[in-house]
């Protein structure tokens, strides 16, 4: 993949991260509530974690974008794809700062990233998973038109506890048929 794109929706701009994002990123991603909903976000989250993430985000099989408000440029979260181009698929992941939960931002950002993945990257499939004990994440995946594909029992370990992982996926042809709209 070439350089990361900047994508835009009605309320959001999804843009590449930069080192200048670290001061705004830390209090958002550093909240325990945010880390509790994700597999890969550490808690506590340090400046060193942020710098390591920025390096990780530059890897060619990753597409990680800052989610910012279009109105004022304020950072509210992050979204990304872990690409496996050999198989023409990617895993979708996202997080939002707690003050931005429940306002449709995750769905809006994910819908645009899925559009980009299917139209621009020509991927065949997008998949995502969530911890079973966080059903709100499953609701977002359903709104995106993803189909439930099953439960991976005690598949992941989060904070020294094994947790079930609910898996969802969508194929490009399913997305095309629906026009990308599932609400």
pLDDT tens-digit readout, 61-77: 999 999 999 999 999 99
Helix axes 135-143, 105-119, angle to 10 degrees: 50
Give the model's pLDDT for residue 181: 57
Give the model's pLDDT for residue 174: 95
pLDDT in tens, 23-45: 998 989 888 888 777 767 778 88
pTM, two decimals, is: 0.91
CA distances 80 to 64, 126, 133, 151, Å, are 4, 11, 22, 22
Q: Does 3.30.450.20 match the CATH number of domain 7-178?
A: no
Domain boundaries, the chain: 7-178
CA distances 153 to 91, 144, 163, Å, are 19, 24, 7
| pLDDT band for position 180 (cuts 50, 70, 90) | low
Mean pLDDT of the chain: 90
- Most confidently modeled of 35-39, 87-91, 178-182? 87-91
- Most confidently modeled of 102-106, 133-137, 175-179? 102-106
Least confident of 53-62, 87-96, 115-124: 53-62
């Amino acid at each position: 993949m070439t350089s990361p794109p900047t994508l835009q929706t009605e309320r959001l701009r999804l843009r590449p991260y930069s080192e200048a994002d670290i001061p705004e990123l830390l209090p958002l991603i550093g909240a325990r509530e945010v880390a509790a909903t994700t597999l890969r976000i550490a808690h506590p989250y340090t400046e060193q974690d942020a710098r390591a993430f920025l390096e990780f985000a530059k890897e060619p099989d990753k597409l990680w974008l800052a989610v910012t408000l279009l109105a004022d440029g304020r950072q509210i979260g992050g979204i990304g794809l872990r690409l496996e181009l050999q198989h023409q698929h990617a895993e979708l992941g996202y997080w939002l700062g707690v003050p931005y939960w429940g306002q449709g931002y995750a769905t809006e950002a994910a819908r645009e990233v899925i559009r980009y993945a299917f139209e621009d990257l020509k991927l065949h499939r997008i998949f995502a998973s969530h911890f079973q004990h966080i059903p709100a994440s499953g609701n977002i995946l359903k709104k995106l038109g993803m189909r439930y594909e099953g439960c991976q029992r005690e598949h992941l370990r989060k904070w020294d506890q094994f947790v079930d992982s609910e898996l969802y996926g969508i194929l490009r042809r399913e997305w095309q048929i629906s026009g990308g709209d599932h609400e």
